[in-house]
Structure 1
Amino acid sequence: MLKADEHEIRKLLFESNVSRYKISKETGIPQNTLSDLVNGKSDIIKMRFDNAAKLTEYAKKLKGASEMDNHFVIRELGSLFETAEAAVEFAQAYWDELKEDRRTSKMDTYGWESVADDIIETIGQGVYEEGDFVSIEIGSHWTKSGNPELIHVGELASVPELNEDGDFEGEYILK
């Protein structure tokens, strides 16, 4: 059943950092319609119900992706990044590339743990130095575009160092 929530729509249009272009692309609502709502040329209360329902659904999807997933993102990816914010920023870029049917309302521990494994494997297969940028590929069967997508993970803030005994100390940390 479709629902429209004026409060969710207002938060999406006036309080979020999501561009009108992105909202339009994700909901199918023309940018000029969104601009009219934001600029007060059209009243949110009087908008078409189907548009209100689309905006409500999109706002709730974003809310679920940003609030619930951050716990898993920080737990599973946090140790790879210098800050929790960097981990969440990467995760949002990754999430944005996924097909709808590959997303869950709550991407669980396994999902982000798998992404962390991909990052570690990518770093392990290359010769990276501090300051290098790392990217991973999302396979075509997972992406909205149907093409493989390269996602920027981050810049290496530190790399393991070889100690006097010939062992590596430290770990790869991304920023």
Structure 2
Amino acid sequence: MTDTPPQHHREGGTTGRNESAEERADRRWADLLQELRVAQTGVQILFGFLLAVVFQPRFADLSTANRTIYVVTVLLGSATAAALIGPVSYHRLLTGRHVKPQTVVWASRLTVLGLVLLFCTMCSALLLILRVALHNTLSLWLVGAMALWSLLCWFVFPAWLLAQASSNRES
């Protein structure tokens, strides 16, 4: 480590670490890769199941509405996989080109987009499954409840924690 001053965030606070921009980018990249490993595995399993559904005997019995939901779900799953696998391409194509800090920023944005798409994919898949399983409007309420729970876990709680941390720094 060098004796450089702590790095500053856009908000004006420090990172609390004595690291260069390159070291910070390396650390953030390693963190992002760990997060992506978890998300990619889940997306690949979900997408694989979605692709197999069309080959099941009961698929022919689906209503037009359920087939439409299925097609939308498969397209969302494909977009999700692309967004969450995208940072791997960034890394491979941009390694050694001295743009790691920018690569981390754009890969992080793509990962957040992937999480939003994953949220949509999961809600759509859940809607299809519950419509087939329950044959009633209860499925919409259950999907709504699970969507709300996912939004809380994935976005609201982290935003709340960030707001709490910001207000503590300002105090």
Q: Indicate whether the TM-score tops 0.5.
A: no
**TM-score normalised by length of structure 2:** 0.27
- TM-score where L is the length of structure 1: 0.26
Structure with more relative contact order (C-alpha pairs < 8 Å, separation 6 or more): 2
More helix by share: 2
Q: Could you say which structure has the higher strand fraction?
A: 1
